[in-house]
Chains A and B, each alone.
Chain A
């Protein structure tokens, strides 16, 4: 079995999963109007990490690790802070050759392409494999970091990859970490798609008008050893819509297949799912597509939320951020309401969570979809009486 043993979220709402979860419980959103002309000429809605706080955490951590020789980019600092905090809650040895690292990101250090960043770092620092290498070396890990860059499903794919690595017995533990930042590159791109919301995004709502971007780093540690934890990776899958590179399928095809693959691997029927964490970007087409996939699996009555109304779309970190929140919901037996939602605005009847609610949660589904027609999902269960 593959156990979830520790996790972390570094975001606008906090520097640990717990801090983020408490903010969510209190209904706080990290999305606000950002006025930063270095990123975009007009104000835009986004969830941004506080630089001073990040520096403070990073400076404390960097003195703990003797391997650190060079200076780090902002994104590397986010990842270092996230991995360190997750490690501090587990007893795994990151320097062991039986510990692997998987990194999930869409654009990595993409801000280094900006003219004012020129020559601040060696040229290869823009490479995603180099980002994986910098993180590995900082923590003294001997194995090549596995870097996944597969649009907005990268995080869920990375967790599924880690589970495969442990199942194959090549690794005892895998540290999955991911990050993306709100950069001029990404904001300008999504603006050109006209897909950014003018207010904090409102997943599944009738009046939703696009996504909000967010930046985050998040880390999830999986292990073959439960170490007192009871949440296990039951199954996962990915699938392609084979339909369009920038628009989701109208039939929810890839999402449906990805869920099906996870159900088959978990060896359960959809009736055993008691909570869903959606991708829920709040673009008109994504949320509609997900409602169709959910309907096709007859999951209409299962309480579902999107975390993006709190933290925005954190791209390569999203699957990790949202799975970390899902794990905390399962540990606390508490469903978090879906921020920004008032009235159902998708064609299929699905059960959006409108109030935080205490209830026993045992088996959950995480969904993700992204550009390139990509979809992924994973299933987590709580094991009882694991003696």
Chain B
């Protein structure tokens, strides 16, 4: 086989300051919008119409928007839906939504847990949302690490590729807590100039720090 290793085909970042596509400015947070407002601004800027978006919690919205930006103009239909894998990671799991659910159950006199909040207290729900939107049926995995660790995601996607369980991978990091948020997603496939190694992925992630 000639081309037997994965390449980084495309990547994007979302931070509180801006959205970058392949490292180049795409949307700027010129008015210093807070997390919710900037996320809504990105949704409007990329001109999509997807009503399910408004039911999501903030971290799922963040991951979803990053996936929309990453996959724009990418033709996934050349792949089998079950050969497309999604391997994500973060540090804080779903902590802001956890606090939100907890606030509905602290007091029995004011007790109102909601399934529409509770379901989002699992980090892989974001993988489900991206899968639903794009008809992706491949391997899923969500890893929790103290800080972004490229090896975790890169090793997993490469293993899936080498064992024939995936042909293409969406990898990255989507974290959201009370103080900061960021998303970094990349596409690993046979196309591209940059090798899919932990060193290269770390370099790309660090564009935002």
Contact = CB atoms under 8 A, between A and B. Distances in A.
A237 B165 contact: yes
B144 A113 contact: no
A185 B101 contact: yes
Interface in B137-154: 137-146, 149, 152
A107 B135 contact: no
A242 B122 contact: no
Nearest to A111: B102
A257 B121 contact: no
Interface stretch (B67-75, B156-164, B182-190): B156-164
A240 B137 CA distance: 4
Contact of A373 (B101, B114, B123, B128): B128
A133 interface: yes
Interface stretch (A143-151, A222-230, A339-347, A378-386): A143-151
Contacts of A133: 146
A107 B122 CA distance: 8
B118 interface: yes
A150 B128 contact: no
A239 B140 contact: yes
Contacts of A373: 128, 131-132
B200 interface: no
Contacts of A242: 81, 131-132, 134-137
A149 B125 CA distance: 11
Contacts of A127: 91-93, 95, 144, 146
Contact of A192 (B115, B122, B124, B126): B115
A114 B95 CA distance: 13
Interface string B74-104: 0000000110001000011101001101101
Interface string A179-190: 000001100111
Contacts of B135: 242
Contacts of A192: 113-115, 118
Range of interface residues on B (Cβ < 8 Å): 35 or more
Nearest to A264: B164
Contact of B124 (A149, A185, A264): A149
Contacts of A151: 122, 124-125
B165 to A, nearest CB: 6
A238 interface: yes
A106 B115 CA distance: 16
Nearest to B52: A245
Given A127-B93, A239-B140, A372-B140, A146 B127 contact: no
A265 interface: yes
A129 B91 contact: yes
A16 interface: no
Interface in A146-173: 146-151, 153, 157, 161, 164, 167-168
B108 interface: yes
A374 interface: yes
B138 A239 contact: yes
A374 B140 contact: yes
Nearest to B84: A240
Interface string A108-149: 101001110000000000111110110000000000101111
A65 interface: no
Nearest to A376: B140
A371 B128 contact: yes
Interface string A247-259: 0000001100100
Nearest to B122: A151
22 contacts: A41-B111, A127-B93, A144-B145, A144-B149, A147-B144, A148-B143, A151-B124, A153-B140, A168-B159, A188-B118, A238-B141, A239-B138, A241-B137, A242-B81, A261-B139, A265-B164, A370-B122, A370-B124, A372-B127, A372-B128, A374-B127, A374-B140
Given A129-B144, A151-B125, A157-B140, 19 more contacts: A108-B93, A113-B99, A113-B102, A148-B142, A148-B144, A149-B122, A150-B141, A164-B159, A185-B102, A188-B101, A189-B113, A189-B115, A241-B128, A241-B137, A242-B131, A245-B125, A253-B137, A260-B82, A372-B128
Interface of B: 81-82, 86, 91-93, 95, 98-99, 101-102, 104-106, 108, 111, 113-115, 118-119, 121-129, 131-132, 134-146, 149, 152, 155-156, 159, 163-165
3 closest A-B pairs by CB: A372-B128, A189-B118, A192-B113
